[in-house]
Amino acid sequence: MNKYVLYISYQGTDYYGFQEQDGYETVMGVVKLIVKRIIPDASSFKGSGRTDKGVHANSQVVQFITCKELNLYKIKYAINNLLPKNLKLNAMKPVELTFDVIRSAISRTYNYLFTERGNTPIYLRDFVAEVNLNIDFNIFESLKNIIMGRHDFTVLRNTGSWSVSL
């Protein structure tokens, strides 16, 4: 058996989140379908996290196993040729069978973009949240040191989780 990870970028506007859901098109559903077309024995797909409907990602990580030893260059090329234009395989690499895409994560980064309603350039509308009020940028400036940087989110873990939060 061989385990591989895929580093996927996507524009999530047309998807109902990352995780598979019956009756809805999701990022994982599309990725899994394409990978299985190229590597029919691929199985045990698992994603590094979840996203909501319409969320975008620069590097969502997916793991799977296969009996085959893969030519990464050819497989990456084949997958990208079949993925829709709003999904892209950035990189692919083999990992140890003990690797777990959730428990092995070193960090996660989230970016939130806001703008005042009516002031968003048309080409950015899928990437920012418009708000219905006048933004007081002085308040954002005073809060940025509190919300930016590395934070300990231990209290937000699942009960019984052994994962470490920095």
pLDDT digits (tens, 9 = 90+) for 74-112: 999 999 999 999 999 999 999 999 999 988 877 777 777
Q: Which of 28, 25, 3 is nearest to 14 (CA)?
A: 25
Question: Does 42 or 103 have the greater pLDDT score?
Answer: 42
Question: Does 150 or 2 have the greater pLDDT score?
Answer: 2
- Per-residue confidence band for 123, with pLDDT thresholds at 50, 70 and 90: confident
Residue 127 lies in a domain: yes
Measured between alpha carbons, how far is residue 94 from residues 2, 48, 79 in Å?
A: 7, 16, 16
pLDDT over 60 (residue 164): no
Do 17 and 90 fall into the same domain? yes
* Six token digits for residue 114: 């806001």
How many Cβ atoms sit within 10 Å of the Cβ of residue 66? 19
For residue 131, what are the β-bridge partners? 116
- Per-residue confidence band for 157, with pLDDT thresholds at 50, 70 and 90: low
Q: How many domains does the chain have?
A: 2
Residues marked active site are found at 52
Do 88 and 11 fall into the same domain? yes
Residue 105 lies in a domain: no
Residue 163 lies in a domain: no
% residues pLDDT > 90 (the chain): 45
Contact 32, 22 (CB under 8 A): no
Which residue range forms the structural domain that includes residue 152? 114-156
Contact 97, 77 (CB under 8 A): no
CATH of residue 64's domain is 3.30.70.580
Do 36 and 75 fall into the same domain? yes
- Angle of the 27-38 helix axis to the 72-82 helix axis, nearest 10: 130
Cα separation, 41 vs 118, in Å, equals 49
Residue 145 lies in a domain: yes
Do 76 and 122 fall into the same domain? no
Do 56 and 119 fall into the same domain? no
Q: What is the mean pLDDT of the chain?
A: 86
Do 57 and 125 fall into the same domain? no
Q: How wide is the angle at C-alpha 11 spanned by C-alphas 8 and 17, nearest 5°?
A: 80
Do 84 and 152 fall into the same domain? no
CA atoms 59, 39, 72, 63: torsion sign: positive
Global confidence as pTM: 0.78
Residue 100 lies in a domain: no
Check residue 159 and give its pLDDT: 61
Highest mean pLDDT: which of 43-52, 75-84, 141-150? 75-84
Residue 41 lies in a domain: yes
Do 16 and 55 fall into the same domain? yes
